[in-house]
Amino acid sequence: MKPISDKVIGRLARYRTLLTEQVPEGRTHLFSYEIAAAMRLADSQVRRDLMAVGTRGVPQHGYEIEALKARLDDALALDRAHGVAVVGAGDLGRALIAFLEARRTTLAIRAAFDVDPAKVNRVFSGVKCHAMADLEKVVAAEGITLAILCVPAAAAQPAADALVHAGIRGVLNFAPVALRLPVQVALEELVITTYLEKLAYFTTHPAKERRNGRHDAR
Ligand SMILES: NC(=O)c1ccc[n+]([C@@H]2O[C@H](COP(=O)([O-])OP(=O)(O)OC[C@H]3O[C@@H](n4cnc5c(N)ncnc54)[C@H](O)[C@@H]3O)[C@@H](O)[C@H]2O)c1
Protein backbone atom coordinates (compact mmCIF):
# COMPACT_ATOMS: atom_id res chain seq x y z
CA MET A 1 0.00 0.00 0.00
CA LYS A 2 1.24 3.52 -0.85
CA PRO A 3 2.11 5.81 2.09
CA ILE A 4 -0.98 7.69 3.23
CA SER A 5 -0.80 11.43 3.83
CA ASP A 6 -1.27 13.04 7.22
CA LYS A 7 -4.59 14.61 6.17
CA VAL A 8 -6.00 11.33 4.88
CA ILE A 9 -4.94 9.53 8.08
CA GLY A 10 -6.81 12.21 10.05
CA ARG A 11 -9.97 11.64 7.99
CA LEU A 12 -9.68 7.84 8.24
CA ALA A 13 -9.54 8.17 12.03
CA ARG A 14 -12.69 10.33 11.90
CA TYR A 15 -14.50 7.76 9.69
CA ARG A 16 -13.60 5.11 12.24
CA THR A 17 -15.01 7.20 15.10
CA LEU A 18 -18.20 7.74 13.12
CA LEU A 19 -18.58 4.01 12.41
CA THR A 20 -17.92 3.19 16.05
CA GLU A 21 -20.11 5.79 17.70
CA GLN A 22 -22.74 7.12 15.32
CA VAL A 23 -24.14 4.31 13.20
CA PRO A 24 -27.96 4.40 13.12
CA GLU A 25 -29.43 1.35 14.88
CA GLY A 26 -30.06 -1.73 12.80
CA ARG A 27 -27.80 -0.70 9.91
CA THR A 28 -25.20 -3.13 8.60
CA HIS A 29 -24.14 -1.01 5.60
CA LEU A 30 -23.58 2.66 4.91
CA PHE A 31 -23.27 4.51 1.62
CA SER A 32 -20.35 6.85 1.03
CA TYR A 33 -22.77 9.78 0.67
CA GLU A 34 -24.10 9.07 4.19
CA ILE A 35 -20.58 9.08 5.63
CA ALA A 36 -19.84 12.22 3.62
CA ALA A 37 -22.98 14.01 4.86
CA ALA A 38 -22.27 13.13 8.51
CA MET A 39 -18.72 14.43 8.19
CA ARG A 40 -19.51 17.41 5.96
CA LEU A 41 -17.19 16.16 3.24
CA ALA A 42 -17.66 15.52 -0.48
CA ASP A 43 -18.87 12.04 -1.39
CA SER A 44 -15.99 11.70 -3.87
CA GLN A 45 -13.48 12.54 -1.09
CA VAL A 46 -14.81 9.74 1.13
CA ARG A 47 -14.69 7.22 -1.73
CA ARG A 48 -11.13 8.28 -2.61
CA ASP A 49 -9.96 7.98 1.00
CA LEU A 50 -11.51 4.55 1.43
CA MET A 51 -10.09 3.40 -1.89
CA ALA A 52 -6.64 4.44 -0.61
CA VAL A 53 -6.98 1.70 2.02
CA GLY A 54 -8.24 -0.80 -0.54
CA THR A 55 -11.98 -0.61 0.14
CA ARG A 56 -14.82 -0.11 -2.32
CA GLY A 57 -18.52 0.05 -1.59
CA VAL A 58 -21.03 -2.12 -3.40
CA PRO A 59 -23.42 -0.04 -5.57
CA GLN A 60 -26.67 -1.37 -4.03
CA HIS A 61 -25.55 -1.54 -0.40
CA GLY A 62 -22.57 0.75 0.12
CA TYR A 63 -19.90 -0.29 2.61
CA GLU A 64 -20.37 -3.13 5.06
CA ILE A 65 -19.78 -1.42 8.41
CA GLU A 66 -17.95 -4.19 10.28
CA ALA A 67 -15.67 -4.97 7.33
CA LEU A 68 -14.92 -1.28 6.85
CA LYS A 69 -14.12 -0.85 10.55
CA ALA A 70 -11.75 -3.81 10.40
CA ARG A 71 -10.07 -2.35 7.30
CA LEU A 72 -9.68 1.04 8.99
CA ASP A 73 -8.32 -0.60 12.15
CA ASP A 74 -5.77 -2.38 10.01
CA ALA A 75 -4.82 0.78 8.08
CA LEU A 76 -4.52 2.83 11.27
CA ALA A 77 -2.61 0.04 13.08
CA LEU A 78 -5.42 -0.16 15.63
CA ASP A 79 -5.77 -3.90 15.16
CA ARG A 80 -3.02 -4.28 17.77
CA ALA A 81 -2.55 -2.87 21.27
CA HIS A 82 -0.49 0.27 21.82
CA GLY A 83 0.72 1.03 25.34
CA VAL A 84 0.15 4.67 26.26
CA ALA A 85 1.54 6.74 29.15
CA VAL A 86 0.06 9.96 30.49
CA VAL A 87 2.80 12.27 31.75
CA GLY A 88 1.50 14.87 34.19
CA ALA A 89 -1.41 13.55 36.23
CA GLY A 90 -2.97 16.95 36.89
CA ASP A 91 -6.47 18.09 35.94
CA LEU A 92 -6.04 17.45 32.22
CA GLY A 93 -4.02 14.25 32.54
CA ARG A 94 -6.53 12.68 34.93
CA ALA A 95 -9.48 13.72 32.73
CA LEU A 96 -7.80 12.08 29.72
CA ILE A 97 -7.04 8.90 31.68
CA ALA A 98 -10.70 8.64 32.76
CA PHE A 99 -11.93 9.30 29.21
CA LEU A 100 -9.61 6.84 27.49
CA GLU A 101 -10.00 4.14 30.13
CA ALA A 102 -13.78 4.23 29.78
CA ARG A 103 -13.50 3.70 26.00
CA ARG A 104 -11.27 0.60 26.35
CA THR A 105 -9.75 0.84 22.89
CA THR A 106 -6.54 -0.80 21.76
CA LEU A 107 -4.88 2.45 22.86
CA ALA A 108 -4.48 1.31 26.45
CA ILE A 109 -3.26 3.68 29.15
CA ARG A 110 -0.73 1.53 31.00
CA ALA A 111 0.78 4.13 33.35
CA ALA A 112 0.76 7.72 34.47
CA PHE A 113 3.82 9.69 35.61
CA ASP A 114 4.24 12.75 37.77
CA VAL A 115 6.85 14.53 39.88
CA ASP A 116 4.40 15.41 42.65
CA PRO A 117 4.89 13.00 45.59
CA ALA A 118 1.21 13.48 46.46
CA LYS A 119 0.26 11.82 43.14
CA VAL A 120 2.97 9.17 42.86
CA ASN A 121 1.70 5.68 43.79
CA ARG A 122 -1.92 6.77 43.55
CA VAL A 123 -4.30 5.10 41.12
CA PHE A 124 -6.41 7.31 38.81
CA SER A 125 -9.32 5.60 37.01
CA GLY A 126 -7.52 2.27 37.39
CA VAL A 127 -4.13 3.59 36.19
CA LYS A 128 -1.15 3.73 38.57
CA CYS A 129 0.84 6.94 38.76
CA HIS A 130 4.61 6.41 38.91
CA ALA A 131 7.50 8.73 39.72
CA MET A 132 9.19 10.30 36.69
CA ALA A 133 12.41 8.75 38.01
CA ASP A 134 10.91 5.32 37.12
CA LEU A 135 9.95 6.32 33.56
CA GLU A 136 12.48 4.18 31.71
CA LYS A 137 11.85 1.09 33.82
CA VAL A 138 8.03 1.27 33.63
CA VAL A 139 7.97 2.13 29.89
CA ALA A 140 10.05 -0.97 29.16
CA ALA A 141 8.13 -3.23 31.55
CA GLU A 142 4.69 -2.15 30.29
CA GLY A 143 5.58 -2.04 26.57
CA ILE A 144 4.63 1.63 26.32
CA THR A 145 5.30 3.29 22.96
CA LEU A 146 3.08 6.41 23.02
CA ALA A 147 2.82 9.25 25.51
CA ILE A 148 0.37 12.04 26.19
CA LEU A 149 2.15 15.05 27.61
CA CYS A 150 0.11 17.10 30.11
CA VAL A 151 2.77 18.90 32.12
CA PRO A 152 3.19 22.68 32.61
CA ALA A 153 4.80 24.46 29.65
CA ALA A 154 8.18 24.91 31.35
CA ALA A 155 8.44 21.18 32.06
CA ALA A 156 7.36 20.00 28.60
CA GLN A 157 10.68 19.87 26.70
CA PRO A 158 12.65 18.15 29.49
CA ALA A 159 9.79 15.68 29.99
CA ALA A 160 9.66 15.03 26.22
CA ASP A 161 13.43 14.46 26.17
CA ALA A 162 13.05 11.95 28.98
CA LEU A 163 10.28 10.19 27.04
CA VAL A 164 12.46 9.93 23.93
CA HIS A 165 15.32 8.60 26.05
CA ALA A 166 12.96 5.98 27.50
CA GLY A 167 12.10 4.78 23.97
CA ILE A 168 8.72 6.46 23.36
CA ARG A 169 7.93 6.60 19.62
CA GLY A 170 5.02 9.03 19.51
CA VAL A 171 4.03 12.02 21.63
CA LEU A 172 0.68 13.81 21.83
CA ASN A 173 1.58 17.17 23.33
CA PHE A 174 -1.03 19.25 25.15
CA ALA A 175 1.43 21.71 26.69
CA PRO A 176 1.41 25.07 24.89
CA VAL A 177 5.00 24.86 23.63
CA ALA A 178 6.47 23.66 20.33
CA LEU A 179 8.57 20.62 21.14
CA ARG A 180 11.82 19.68 19.44
CA LEU A 181 11.96 15.92 19.00
CA PRO A 182 14.08 13.62 16.84
CA VAL A 183 12.47 13.09 13.41
CA GLN A 184 11.83 9.43 14.06
CA VAL A 185 9.52 10.30 16.97
CA ALA A 186 5.99 11.12 15.76
CA LEU A 187 4.53 14.29 17.25
CA GLU A 188 1.00 15.65 17.40
CA GLU A 189 0.29 18.91 19.19
CA LEU A 190 -3.19 19.85 20.28
CA VAL A 191 -4.00 23.22 21.78
CA ILE A 192 -7.68 23.88 22.24
CA THR A 193 -7.29 27.66 22.06
CA THR A 194 -6.06 27.31 18.46
CA TYR A 195 -9.40 25.76 17.49
CA LEU A 196 -11.34 28.42 19.39
CA GLU A 197 -9.30 31.19 17.77
CA LYS A 198 -10.10 29.74 14.34
CA LEU A 199 -13.79 29.55 15.25
CA ALA A 200 -13.67 33.18 16.38
CA TYR A 201 -12.11 34.13 13.05
CA PHE A 202 -14.55 32.18 10.88
CA THR A 203 -17.61 33.36 12.80
CA THR A 204 -16.42 36.95 12.39
CA HIS A 205 -15.63 36.43 8.68
CA PRO A 206 -18.30 33.91 7.59
CA ALA A 207 -17.58 34.57 3.90
CA LYS A 208 -14.17 32.98 4.40
CA GLU A 209 -15.72 29.78 5.73
CA ARG A 210 -14.34 26.71 4.02
CA ARG A 211 -16.61 25.10 1.48
CA ASN A 212 -16.98 21.90 3.49
CA GLY A 213 -17.77 23.88 6.64
CA ARG A 214 -14.90 22.39 8.61
CA HIS A 215 -12.11 24.42 10.12
CA ASP A 216 -9.19 22.13 10.58
CA ALA A 217 -6.96 23.90 13.11
CA ARG A 218 -3.85 22.03 12.06
N1 LIG B 1 -3.88 21.66 24.73
C2 LIG B 1 -4.96 22.03 25.37
O3 LIG B 1 -5.99 22.23 24.78
C4 LIG B 1 -4.85 22.20 26.85
C5 LIG B 1 -5.97 22.29 27.67
C6 LIG B 1 -5.77 22.39 29.04
C7 LIG B 1 -4.47 22.41 29.54
N8 LIG B 1 -3.41 22.36 28.71
C9 LIG B 1 -2.03 22.31 29.18
O10 LIG B 1 -1.83 21.01 29.73
C11 LIG B 1 -0.89 21.09 30.78
C12 LIG B 1 -1.52 20.52 32.04
O13 LIG B 1 -2.64 21.29 32.43
P14 LIG B 1 -3.40 20.96 33.79
O15 LIG B 1 -4.53 21.89 33.87
O16 LIG B 1 -3.64 19.49 33.90
O17 LIG B 1 -2.28 21.39 34.86
P18 LIG B 1 -2.06 20.81 36.32
O19 LIG B 1 -1.20 21.79 37.03
O20 LIG B 1 -3.37 20.42 36.93
O21 LIG B 1 -1.23 19.46 36.06
C22 LIG B 1 0.11 19.42 35.68
C23 LIG B 1 0.72 18.16 36.29
O24 LIG B 1 2.04 17.99 35.77
C25 LIG B 1 2.88 17.59 36.85
N26 LIG B 1 4.26 17.90 36.51
C27 LIG B 1 4.92 19.09 36.63
N28 LIG B 1 6.17 18.95 36.17
C29 LIG B 1 6.32 17.67 35.75
C30 LIG B 1 7.39 16.93 35.17
N31 LIG B 1 8.56 17.49 34.92
N32 LIG B 1 7.17 15.63 34.88
C33 LIG B 1 5.98 15.04 35.14
N34 LIG B 1 4.93 15.69 35.69
C35 LIG B 1 5.09 16.99 35.98
C36 LIG B 1 2.34 18.36 38.05
O37 LIG B 1 2.75 17.77 39.27
C38 LIG B 1 0.84 18.23 37.81
O39 LIG B 1 0.31 17.04 38.38
C40 LIG B 1 -0.49 22.56 30.88
O41 LIG B 1 0.66 22.77 30.12
C42 LIG B 1 -1.67 23.29 30.26
O43 LIG B 1 -1.31 24.54 29.72
C44 LIG B 1 -3.59 22.24 27.38
93 marked as part of a ligand binding site: yes
Residue 203 covered by a domain = no
Q: Interface pTM (ipTM) of the complex?
A: 0.98
Protein residue closest via CA to atom 31 of ligand 1:
155
Residue 42 covered by a domain = yes
Residue 146 covered by a domain = yes
Residue 211 covered by a domain = no
Amino acid present at 76: L
- 58 is in which domain, residue-wise? 6-74
Q: 86 with 188, same domain?
A: yes
DSSP for 83-119, please give it: EEEEE--SHHHHHHHHHHHHHT-SEEEEEEEES-TTT
Last residue in a domain, options 18, 39, 74: 74
Residue 1 covered by a domain = no
Q: 185 with 126, same domain?
A: yes
Residue 213 covered by a domain = no
Distance from the CA of 33 to the center of ligand 1, in angstroms?
A: 41
10 marked as part of a ligand binding site: no
Q: Quote the number of domains for the chain.
A: 2
User: Could you list the pLDDT tens digit for every one of the 218 residues in the chain?
Assistant: 677 888 999 999 999 999 988 887 888 999 999 999 999 999 999 999 999 988 888 888 999 999 999 999 999 988 888 999 999 999 999 999 999 988 777 889 999 999 999 999 999 999 999 999 999 999 999 999 999 999 999 999 999 999 999 999 999 999 999 999 999 999 999 989 988 998 999 888 876 555 545 544 44
Cβ–ligand 1 distance for 4 under 6 Å, the answer no
